[in-house]
């Protein structure tokens, strides 16, 4: 039981030794909820979901705390809400719900904790006050800035020299900065702009301070793993290290820094700004497969490339994933009458995951078990292989659909062609209720007949009308 992980901070694969095996902590930077997630944003969610499952497998469910935050304070959110003419709360609520639905379709389990930045503003103000008191931050024209020269180790995580840091951070030229590399901890919100009262006037936090404060609130000053996409190494994570190490008594902060590579399209990072993105929702909707099945196919694609390497999104990749999953489900179907040996652990799969989360090899192992099961003749052997297949698939978050759903494969397009989606049926029932209230029985009967013709049976009761498909 030894997990090895590539630690960005050390630039090498290290053996993972938790501070306390009874209390393993992992913090991963979550979404900024201003717009729907694209499949690139889903890559870290799926990768760290597998890492969380592996940690739970090794240390026990009750000994792992996985925290993934929601960034619901950020200038893109203010702009996004203004553009759509809705409130910030409406936008962040809607986007968060959409994110949860999209990630659930990809088989991503909810983390143990999901703090929101707006719930931690007081903690941010306090950490900024501490940084000022310790001489690591200063106030200038309503802003509070972190003083980069006050921290000799700044740049160590990302390994950048000073010029690269200034260039890479695209640090805005601001006359009030004492040093061009200094970054914002707090900024003013003039007029009726969204903000909170603070010792420096009404304002809002910078993005980096949010994660320093939320990770401390949920996991303490020092914890085991900090993750995110590799675009976050600089400046976001470098700045988190600076803030946390300078403000906290314990200078350890995160011990293992784990970063996933980019999902690309034609070799270019998928991003909102380049416009080369597919949202998870669009991908799920463009297939005729049931949502959970489609989600598993995309999850398989995301796991089929080493997490540190670039993953180029292609139709072929999706087709391969679908075929591989089909091999697994076909084996499970052939084993349908066999009682799985539940004492089996997913040894081979675990072995590869322990090796710096080698998901492509873990998937190969799973398919090898499926093929072996197809050939097995002996009942004990079948039970053993079914047990292994199910345990390995669970660890990877795959083969979680029913056999019926997988082999049915497609949504009932007949319903969609008739316009009779679940929502459509509910709307017709509402219209029928209204017609009955208005004593328009002809229309009410017409709706009942229309639904009956489409195979929808209505059941009236004093509590209202329910329906089922015939």
Query: Residues in the site for Zn ion, rule: CB under 5 A?
Result: 29, 211
Binding to ligand AMP, residues 394-453 (CB under 6 A): none
Choose one: 37-45, 84-92, 357-365, 396-404; the region binding ligand AMP (CB under 6 A): 37-45
Which of 80, 155, 195, 229 touches ligand AMP by CB under 6 A?
229
Contact between 44 and ligand AMP per CB under 6 A:
yes
Instruction: Rule CB under 6 A: choose which of 14, 179, 221, 231 binds ligand AMP.
Output: 231
List, in order, residues 6 or more apart from 423 with CB less than 8 Å away. none
Beta-carbon neighbour count of residue 280 at 10 Å? 25
Q: Does 31 help bind ligand AMP (rule: CB under 6 A)?
A: yes
Closer residue to ligand AMP, CB minimum distance, 276 or 327: 276
Q: What does the angle CA 301 – CA 72 – CA 285 come to, to the nearest 5 degrees?
A: 35
Sign of CA dihedral 41, 275, 261, 241: negative
Closest CA to 325 of 391, 409, 265: 409
Per CB under 6 A, the list member of 18, 25, 40, 206 interacting with ligand AMP is 40
Nearer to Zn ion, 262 or 300 (CB): 262
Query: Which span (49-57, 224-232, 295-303, 360-368) binds ligand AMP, by CB under 6 A?
Result: 224-232
- Give start and end residues of each alpha helix (H) in 287-421: 291-303, 315-334, 347-354, 359-375, 379-396, 403-408, 413-417
Which entry of Zn ion, ligand AMP, none binds 211, CB below 5 to 8 A by partner kind?
Answer: Zn ion
Smallest distance from Zn ion to CB 124, Å: 13
CB 149 within 8 A of CB 180: no
**Based on CB atoms, which residue is closest to ligand AMP, 80 or 392?**
80
> Quick one: 29 or 297, whose CB is closer to ligand AMP?
29
CB atoms within 10 A of CB 23: 16
Q: Phi-psi region for residue 457, left (φ > 0), alpha (ψ -120 to 50) or beta?
A: beta
Among 263, 302, 328, 376, binds ligand AMP (CB under 6 A): 263
Residue 38 · residue 278 · CB < 8 Å = yes
CA distance 124 to 212: 8
> How many other CB atoms are found less than 10 A from the CB of residue 389?
25
Q: Which of 383, 448, 454 is nearest to 418 (CA)?
A: 454
Q: Does 226 bind ligand AMP (CB under 6 A)?
A: no
Question: Per CB under 6 A, does 206 bind ligand AMP?
Answer: no
Closest residue to ligand AMP, Cβ-based?
229
32 binding ligand AMP? (CB under 6 A): yes
CA distances 237 to 67, 132, 209, 246, 307, Å, are 16, 20, 10, 14, 19
- Complex with Zn ion: residue 224 or 322, whichever CB lies closer: 224
Q: Which is nearer to Zn ion, 228 or 261 (CB)?
A: 228
Our finding on whether 232 is near ligand AMP (CB under 6 A) is yes
If one asks whether residue 157 binds ligand AMP (CB under 6 A), the answer comes out as no
Contacting residues toward ligand AMP, per CB under 6 A:
29, 31-32, 40-41, 43-44, 228-229, 231-232, 260, 262-263, 269-271
């Amino acid at each position: 039981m030894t997990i090895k992980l590539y630690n960005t901070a050390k630039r090498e694969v290290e053996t993972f030794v938790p501070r306390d095996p009874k209390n393993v902590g992992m913090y991963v930077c979550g979404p900024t909820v201003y717009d729907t997630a694209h499949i690139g944003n889903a890559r870290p969610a799926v990768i760290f979901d597998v890492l969380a499952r592996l940690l739970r497998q090794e240390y026990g469910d009750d000994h792992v705390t996985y925290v993934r935050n929601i960034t619901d304070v950020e200038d893109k959110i203010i702009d996004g809400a203004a553009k759509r003419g809705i409130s910030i709360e409406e936008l962040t609520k809607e986007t968060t719900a959409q994110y949860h639905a999209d990630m659930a379709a990809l088989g991503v389990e909810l983390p143990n904790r999901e703090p929101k930045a707006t719930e931690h503003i007081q903690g941010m103000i306090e950490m900024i006050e501490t940084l000022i008191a310790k001489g690591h931050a200063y106030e200038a024209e309503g802003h509070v800035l972190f003083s980069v020269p006050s921290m000799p180790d700044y740049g160590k995580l990302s390994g950048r020299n000073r010029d690269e840091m200034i260039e890479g951070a695209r640090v805005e030229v601001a006359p009030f900065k004492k040093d061009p590399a200094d970054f914002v901890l707090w900024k003013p919100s003039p007029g009726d702009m969204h903000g909170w009262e603070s010792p420096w006037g009404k304002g809002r936090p910078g993005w980096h301070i949010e994660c320093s404060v939320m990770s401390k609130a949920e996991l303490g000053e020092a914890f085991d793993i900090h993750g995110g996409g590799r675009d976050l190494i600089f400046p976001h994570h470098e700045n988190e290290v600076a803030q946390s190490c300078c403000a906290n008594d314990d200078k350890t902060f995160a011990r293992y820094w784990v970063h996933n590579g980019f999902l690309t399209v034609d070799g270019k990072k998928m991003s909102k700004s380049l416009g080369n993105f597919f949202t998870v929702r669009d991908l799920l909707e463009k297939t005729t497969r049931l949502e959970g099945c489609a989600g598993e196919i995309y999850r398989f694609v995301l796991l089929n490339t080493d997490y540190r390497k670039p993953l180029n999104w292609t139709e072929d990749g999706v087709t391969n994933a679908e075929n591989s999953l089909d091999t697994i489900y076909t084996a499970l179907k052939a084993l349908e009458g066999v009682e799985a040996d539940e004492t089996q652990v997913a040894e081979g799969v675990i072995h590869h995951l322990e090796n710096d989360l080698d998901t492509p090899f873990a998937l190969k192992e799973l398919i090898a078990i499926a093929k072996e099961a197809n050939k097995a003749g002996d009942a004990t052997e079948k039970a053993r292989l079914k047990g292994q297949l199910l345990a390995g698939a669970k660890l990877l978050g795959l083969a979680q659909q029913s056999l019926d759903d997988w082999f049915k494969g497609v949504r009932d397009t007949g319903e969609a062609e008739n316009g009779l989606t679940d929502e459509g049926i509910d709307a017709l029932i509402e219209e029928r209720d209204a017609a009955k209230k208005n004593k328009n029985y002809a229309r009410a009967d017409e709706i009942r007949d229309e639904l009956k013709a489409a195979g929808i049976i209505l059941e009236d009761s004093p509590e209202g009308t329910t329906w089922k498909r015939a």
